[in-house]
């Protein structure tokens, strides 16, 4: 550790000094960026993708159910009441359902084919 760094942080342990040096090096590195045409390429790939088949839907549903169960257990382990847990899990699901319903209603209203 250099003299200047040790003067600035006299009570720092060797491990903390190493982490500090690593953080300073990381902050000095150039910021990564996406290519300029990233948005167009992403949209093209999303439009080209096909809807999920039966196996994909089953897999995604299983993942969602496992995530909900693990989240509920972790929140309960932190001492939250079951009512709070249910609101925190069902609230976003209700918002997704409402957004899909509104999207379908708007699409049908303007003569567009709903997905």
> Considering the domain boundaries, does residue 47 fall inside one?
no
CA distance 25 to 115: 49
Owning domain of residue 98? 81-115
Q: SS3 for 29?
A: coil
pLDDT in tens, 45-57: 988 888 889 999 9
Q: Provide the number of structural domains found in the chain.
A: 2
> Considering the domain boundaries, does residue 1 fall inside one?
yes
- pLDDT at position 17: 83
Virtual torsion, Cα 20, 23, 29, 31, nearest 10 deg: -150
> Considering the domain boundaries, does residue 106 fall inside one?
yes
Contacts of 35 (CB under 8 A, 6+ apart): 41
- pLDDT at position 54: 92
- pLDDT at position 7: 52
Which parts of the chain register pLDDT below 50? Answer: 1, 4, 6
């Amino acid at each position: 550790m250099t003299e200047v760094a040790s003067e600035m942080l006299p009570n720092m342990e060797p491990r903390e000094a190493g982490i500090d040096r690593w953080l300073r090096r990381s902050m000095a590195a150039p910021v990564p960026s996406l290519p300029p045409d990233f948005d167009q390429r992403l949209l093209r790939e999303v439009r080209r993708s096909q809807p999920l088949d039966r196996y994909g839907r089953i897999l995604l549903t299983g993942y969602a159910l496992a995530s909900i169960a693990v989240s509920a257990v972790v929140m309960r382990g932190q001492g939250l009441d079951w009512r709070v847990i249910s609101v925190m899990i069902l609230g976003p699901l209700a918002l997704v359902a409402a957004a899909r319903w509104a999207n379908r209603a708007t699409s049908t209203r303007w003569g567009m084919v709903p997905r």
